[in-house]
Structures are given as structure tokens and as C-alpha cells.
Amino acid sequence: MDFVSSGCAMKKAVTQQNTKTGRETSKCDHVIWEIEVPKKLVGRLIGRQGKFMSFLRQRSGAKIYVSTRPYFHDSQVCHIEGFPLQVVKVLRLIGRKFKELCLTNIHGLPPPAPLALHSLLMTAWLFLPDGVTVEVVVAHQVDAGHMFLQQHTHPTFHVLRRLDQQMYVCYSQPEIPTLPTPVAVGIICTAPGLDGAWLRAQVISYFEETSEVELRYVDYGGYDKVKVDTLRQIRSDFLSLPFQGAEVLLDNVVPLPDEDHFSPEADAAVDEMTRGAVLVAQVTNYDSATGLPLIQLWNLTGDEVVSINRTLVERGLARWLDY
């Protein structure tokens, strides 16, 4: 079906969604429409500082935002919700700008298969909401422009400590199963931490020659390369809590000219401004290469609001990039 060129086709599709549930389309019916968006197009869809997203909301009156699905590795989801005519208007506007984009509704469809046991399908990441300021703390800093955040005011956050305690007790016992080999990339497992702790982690890469894997720690952030035999299979009940570590990049901030990474001084400056501090973050875009959220980050110290992004540039430790 050509959703882009035919407004009638879109109206028909929206109507069919309602009639499938045995209801006639009416003005009071709300429609949910979700389209899969390749990561390379997400930045353009949101627009600079969220302008195209705001334009779509204002022109249509529909609720619209971009989110990430755990089982979509190379794409994200544009969620549209509203009255049928509002949804049709959004689809038309998106179709005019992105003629190559398939606007088929994937809402309610089963996730793609196959997926490994205990993969990301079995749980969800706690992502930062698009375009909304939220209080955060830095759980792990990769470098000056790359970090993992936790939403410490979110209702699920306090459950993490209890989960840590339960995992400590469980994995202190002998004969807990190790991971089967070859290790499937994308599965969730448990990895040993400091002082006997066990952490939830995702396998990013598998190196069969050295019997090692690269891990991403899903609650506390960071990456590590470890031996396979140090890891353990995760109990299904330990997957019910959403992963608490949101991986993000600072928006508009890049290394200095002729440098391909941030300096140790830049890393130290961000650590100084964020360690133990109450911070506020807002997703303003998405990185076209990785799909990671791009954020503006502020330090709320006393009555002063300090932009981490701007301060890094003002100190001569990074370059401001407009796009």
C-alpha cells in the first residue's frame, strides 16, 4: 500500500484499524499508529531542537514522540496517537518529507524473531522521555561527552537496591549455571562486580578465539571485556525491573579541532561538574550514527543553573557544533 501518495489509502488504513476491533470509526475514536524509523533518519524526523516534532504536533493536534524498542537494533519507533484525521495528517506530513520511509502501522505486531533466551525482549529499558526535562544522576562516565544516566526519582529506581541484594544472595551460591557457548550476542546475563556484587549485563560482542565477551552494564553503565566463564545465566525474575542505565551523548558538544576524542582535562571537568550532583537532562535529538539520545545537561547547584554542555565549551575543552 502506498501510504505516501494516497491520502485515501491512509484514511482507509486508519478506519480498518478500528473496524478490526469491531467498532465503527467515529470522532471520539483514538488511533495509535507506530512506524519504524531507521536510526539514520531519526535526527531529521525530530528536527533541530525538536522543531519538526513540534511542527507535527501543532499542525495535527496529535500526540507524537520517538521511542526505542529493545528488539529494534537499527531503528526506532515513531508513536502517533490521536483522532483518525489527526493521525492521517501526521502521516501525510511525514510522507512528504521522507518519501523513502514506510508508513505501515507496526503497533501491536509481534516482535521480530528469532530472539535469544533472556534477550532484551524480556524486559525494557528505562529511557529518558523525549523533549521533557527529568532529574538524573550520572551512573557512569565513558568520556566527557558520553555517559550513562539514572532517573533517581523514577518509581522503579528504589527497587534496584533490593534487586542487587537478591542477586548477591543468589549468585553467592555454588553451581549457578554458566553461559552456554557459543555466546549469543544480545543476551542478558549476570557479571561479577566489586565486593561480591553481581550486575545485570548485556553481551555486545563474542570473541570465540579468546573465550571472552564485551559487556554493557545495563543498570550502572559502562563497558567491559571479560572471560565467558566468569558470567552466569540470569534468573527470569531478575529481568522484571526495567534496566536503569540510560546511555546518552551530550548534544552540540564535540572534541576540539584535530582531535578525535575528548582530552583527559575535559573528562575530568565533566566528572567534577556531575559527580554526586543533582542534574537535569533533556533529550533534544538522536545521534544519526548510533541512535543514542543527544541531551542537554544542567547542574542545579543552589540557585544557579549551570549548563554542562556550554561550560565545557566555555572552558576551551570542547567545540560547540550547530547542525
Name the one residue in this structure whose C-alpha cell is 579541532: 257
Residue 36 has pLDDT above 60, yes or no: yes
Distance, CA of 231 to CA of 213 (rounded, Å): 10
> pLDDT (tens digit, 9 = 90+) per residue, 144-176?
999 999 999 998 999 999 999 999 999 988 888
- List, for residues 285-300, the tens digit of each pLDDT value: 888 778 889 999 999 8
Question: What pLDDT, on the 0 to 100 scale, is given for residue 109?
Answer: 67
Q: On the CB side of 57, how many CA atoms lie within 13 Å of its CA? A: 14
Q: Which amino acid is at 320?
A: W
Gyration radius (Cα) of the chain, Å: 22
pLDDT at 130: 81
Res. 123: pLDDT tops 80: no
Is there a contact between 46 and 52 (Cβ–Cβ < 8 Å)?
A: yes
In three-state secondary structure terms, 227 is strand
Q: Can you give the pLDDT at residue 11?
A: 52
Q: Which grid coordinates belong to 15?
A: 478506519
pLDDT in the model for residue 70: 52
Once rounded to an integer, what is the mean pLDDT over residues 61-73? Answer: 73
- Please determine, for residue 53, whether its predicted confidence score (pLDDT) is greater than 90: no
